Structure 1
Amino acid sequence: MSALERRIEAMRLFGRLVATQEGREYLADNNHKSGQAVVVADYEELIKDVMPRIRSHKPPVTIALLKDDELLMFSIGPTPEAERVSSSAASPESTIGMLYEAACQTSNGSSFHLTSWDRDATAFSMPSVRELLSH
């Protein structure tokens, strides 16, 4: 499957998720607000290639990825000034999938500095939707 096909499949799966009450509740429970932008990216896509699409929307933004036929999601938004402690630099040459994996490492979000965005950001992973989409 090509990168474009994976992005299309991720959007199709996201559409299936929001088409159900259970899916909408899942999103609301994971801080996705109605009307919040969703950016679809390939797991292997470079951060520098995804950031222009993220920056074109008001934060926070939900990122939807496809990895091994599974829909993965996380949200990204500016880190509030009061919550800034220390952040890791996220290389623009890193993949968006690597950023997702970093967000999965902690329950309170992963703070990082993006050189392609003039501020620190926090990424929060969302739990698996595999079971919701298996219906």
Structure 2
Amino acid sequence: MTVASERLQTARAIGRVLGTVEGRDFLVHNGHVSGTPIIACEWDTSLDEVIQNLRAANPQTAQAAVAIRRGEGLHWMGISPSSASDAGKDGDVHAGSTMGMLYQALQESGLSLRVTNLSVARAMVLA
């Protein structure tokens, strides 16, 4: 399957979520603010690609909801910009890491993701 057809399937899955009151409530309950971009990707999409899409969608800040499709299901996570107080915590995430690997690691650890340098796809995981 091509990347375009994979992304189309992901966009349709997001549309199904956004098309229901329950889906919109889920996003609001998890901190999504109207107007914040939703970045569509698949389980094996690289962090670098997601950061590039974020940079194109929201160049002023590094904030977005990310919908990661795996099979027929969607997994959601937020990406937000780092602040000065975030410096020095835990380690960097390699730009080639897949979103699935990142999502799974964050779910298991309870940590959060902050973008430290949008221009070079740098991110760090925070405690």
Residues 63 and 80, structure 2, Cα contact 8 Å, conserved in 1: yes
Aligned-pair Cα RMSD in Å: 2.6
The structure carrying a bigger helix percent of its residues is: 2
Residues 60 and 75, structure 1, Cα contact 8 Å, conserved in 2: yes
Deviation at 1:31, TM superposition (A): 0.7
- Quick one: distance in 2 between partners of 1:75 and 1:108? 12
Change (3 A) 1:110 1:59: closer
Which structure 1 residue ranges, 4+ long, deviate > 4 Å from structure 2?
110-115, 120-123
Q: Percent identity?
A: 22
Query: Which residue in the other structure is 1:47 paired with?
Result: 47
Query: Which residue in the other structure is 1:63 paired with?
Result: 66
Moved more, 45-54 or 84-93: 84-93
- Quick one: distance in 2 between partners of 1:40 and 1:47? 12
Query: Which residue in the other structure is 1:81 paired with?
Result: 84
Structure 1 segments unaligned to the other structure (5+ residues): 124-135
Change (3 A) 1:23 1:111: same
Length, aligned pairs only: 122
- Quick one: distance in 1 between partners of 2:114 and 2:35? 24
TM normalised by structure 2 equals 0.77
- Quick one: distance in 1 between partners of 2:51 and 2:33? 20
Deviation at 1:39, TM superposition (A): 0.9
TM normalised by structure 1 equals 0.73
- Quick one: distance in 2 between partners of 1:94 and 1:40? 16
- Quick one: distance in 2 between partners of 1:112 and 1:88? 12
Query: Which residue identity is paired with 2:89?
Result: S
Residue by residue, what CA displacement relative to the aligned partner does 1:31-77 show, whole Å, maximum 9, x if unpaired? 11111101111211222222211122133201111112211111101
Residues 91 and 125, structure 2, Cα contact 8 Å, conserved in 1: no
- Quick one: distance in 2 between partners of 1:113 and 1:73? 20
Structure 2 segments unaligned to the other structure (5+ residues): none
- Quick one: distance in 1 between partners of 2:102 and 2:47? 8
Q: How does 1:24-35 map to 2 (within 5 A)?
A: 24-35=24-35
Query: Which residue in the other structure is 1:117 paired with?
Result: 121
